[in-house]
Amino acid sequence: MAALALLVRLVDLGGRIFHWDEGRVGYWILRYHETGEFSYRPIIHGPFLPVVNDYLFAVLPAADFTARLPVAVVGGLLPLSVWLFREHLRRDEMVALALFLAANPLLVYYSRFMRNDVLVAAFSFAALGFVVRAYDTGRLAYLIPAGASFAAGAATKENYVVYLACFLGASFLVFDHRLLARTSAGESARDILFSELPASLRDRLRARGAGSLGYGAVRYVAGVLGGLLAFLVVFVFFYAPRPGLWNALGGSAPMLPVLEAGTVGAASEMVGSWLGGSHQSHEYLPYLKDFLETFVYGAPVLIVFALVGVVVDRYGVVAGRIRWLVAFATYWGVVSIFGYPLATDIQAPWVVVHAVVPLAIPAAVGAAFVFRSGARALDSKDAVGVGLAALVLVASVGGVAAANVDYWNASTDDDSEVLQWAQPENDLKATLDDVARVSAANDGTDVLLYGTRPPDSDETHFYVANESDPLGGPSWHSRLPLPWYFEGADVERTSSAPDANVSEVTADAPPVVVAYEWDRAELESELDGYVARQHAFKLWSEDVVVFIDEDALDATNETRG
């Protein structure tokens, strides 16, 4: 399953043009790679991708494929984490769970996308698995990879705090559920809480300490501290500013300020931006509707099997009792469905990933149950039962495969339920390749971005007063994802103010002019000898036009030929 997951994530990984958000983060990664200077900026989320991609760009070209590679690899290896839960799932359920993690269309699409959501989901899921394994085996050394994995998730996106809250909340609900079941059968809650649980803890500590309660407690504390230390080391490695970290390690700068910036400073910035800011100031119901719409379109098979799995496990159809892992994952997934529309700052399909991962566990239980039912029907020569089970399983596989083929490198509004609005169409990528070739053969300024204001709006698009300081404004973000491609191809660019005279701006125009569609007519009359290519810059209602000097383009095509 891991091999399958890696294959579907790596094939043609660079085929889809960068999304607006990929272009934004990618540009700053390129700047970090060039300057060696980087510090945590909450608005682009955690430092995992900048740090890891900086190393990748040292050995591989800084291209779409390379930038997405860390997410694809982590998403592809996620099915391996299923093995950590082997004490709580049957073998066929583990295979089904691995298949859901490998082939769910939302997980596949956003594993082929340079964003942090699949990363934080995968690292947090693995961290949970290591904690479960430590509990199952009593070997607290598993807490070290648990801490490191959760720290890696914390370095990807700030909602690792939500994962921690979900884990704690689901644990409490499972504990309460089991306690209620026992007290309903007539047992005393006082005896369970104040006699049985302390006795069980003492027995586990003695077992860890070869019969010594004190030695067992010391080993237990050492295991927990090992996990916390692993978390801290990985967290500081990613969040510490560069080159401050290297200077401190090299002895040329004090270490304490770096440690403070990589811990307390990073936490303060996160709280100030995401918890204390205004990112969640929006209406709830439209965000919930958008979440559910993406969930239904991107994970219909998982939803159906998850409902089956919850029923068969809750009523003891599979194991004769409720398994705490399945209940835990169900609570976690349901809270994610109703919680993320409140926690997220924009209507974005990728947040549904955080419900898909936990609900894959009850879905695996449901899928395995249907498979076993079909197998039993086959053994008993029940043609109707075999036919129904086969129909369900074949339809499920077909539905997953068809959805993955449809969403693969999709970039049109036909798939707007799964794609985010700020996705350009793929045809623009070929045009940008031509722009890169024309720019490489040109001396001086290569591209003019024609400053403008959208109809019936006072916003400014494309214009930046100082190209060496893009965030100086007023409208660098309206160019995305173009800066990623321009920076990577070393394209020299300039821009014009929205109130500039079109004739003066184009009098000595460079070989490439980029404008919004509403300015196309006035520019075409001025740019004689330029070919115009119009592309969707967002999924709907926003097009961009790229004018390329025909002579310059022909010259590069001849050289290329």
On the question of pLDDT at 257 being above 70, the answer is: yes
Q: Regarding predicted confidence, which is higher, 303 or 190?
A: 303
Average pLDDT over residues 414-425: 89
Alpha carbon 116 to its chain centroid, in Å, reads: 3
Q: Domains in the chain: how many in total? A: 2
User: Mean pLDDT throughout 367-383?
Assistant: 78
Confidence check: pLDDT of 280 > 70:
no
Which of 182-191, 349-358, 432-441 has the least mean pLDDT?
A: 182-191
Same domain, 63 and 176: yes
Residue 340 covered by a domain: yes
Which SS3 state, helix, strand or coil, does residue 548 take?
A: strand
Residues 423-471: pLDDT tens digits? 999 999 999 999 999 999 999 999 999 999 988 888 899 999 888 887 7
152 located within any domain: yes
Whether 155 and 293 map to the same domain: the answer is yes
Q: Does some domain include residue 223?
A: yes
Q: Residue 8 domain-assigned?
A: yes
Per DSSP, the three-state class of 342 is helix
- Are 437 and 322 contained in the same domain? no
Instruction: Give domain status of residue 126, yes or no.
Output: yes
Q: Which of 377, 396, 415 is the last residue of a domain?
A: 396
Helix, strand, coil shares of the chain as percentages rounded to 5?
65, 5, 30
Q: How confident is the model over 257-269, as a mean pLDDT?
A: 88
Same domain flag for 375 and 435:
no
State the chain's mean pLDDT as an integer: 89
pLDDT tier at 319 (50, 70, 90 boundaries)?
low
318 — pLDDT class (breaks 50, 70, 90): low
Do residue 210 and residue 148 come from a single domain? yes
The answer to whether residue 334 sits within a structural domain is yes
Identify the CA nearest to 125 among candidates 152, 105, 99, 103: 152
Strand partners, 547: 513, 532
**Residue (of 41, 425, 397) closest to 242 by Cα position:** 41
Please give the distance of CA 546 from its chain centroid, rounded to a whole number: 31
385 and 470, same domain (yes or no): no
Whether residue 336 is found in the same domain as residue 214:
yes
Is residue 133 in a domain? yes
Measured N-to-C along each axis, helices 160-184 and 353-379 cross at an angle, to the nearest 10 degrees, of: 50
The answer on pLDDT for 277 being more than 60 is no
pLDDT score recorded for residue 384: 65
Q: Is residue 163 domain-shared with residue 291, that is, in the same domain?
A: yes
For residues 387 and 441, membership in a common domain is answered with no
Number of other residues whose CB lies within 10 A of the CB of residue 93: 29
- Residue 467 domain boundaries: 426-559
Residue 279 scores a pLDDT above 70: no
pLDDT tier at 275, thresholds 50, 70, 90? low
Neighbours of 533 (CB within 10 A): 16
Q: So what's the pLDDT on residue 274? A: 63
Q: Is the dihedral of CA 412, 417, 419, 422 positive or negative?
A: positive
Same domain, 115 and 221: yes
Give a yes or no: residue 512 inside a domain.
yes
Distance CA 81, CA 152 (A): 15
pLDDT at position 445 is 94
Same domain, 444 and 330: no
Does 197 share its domain with 309? yes
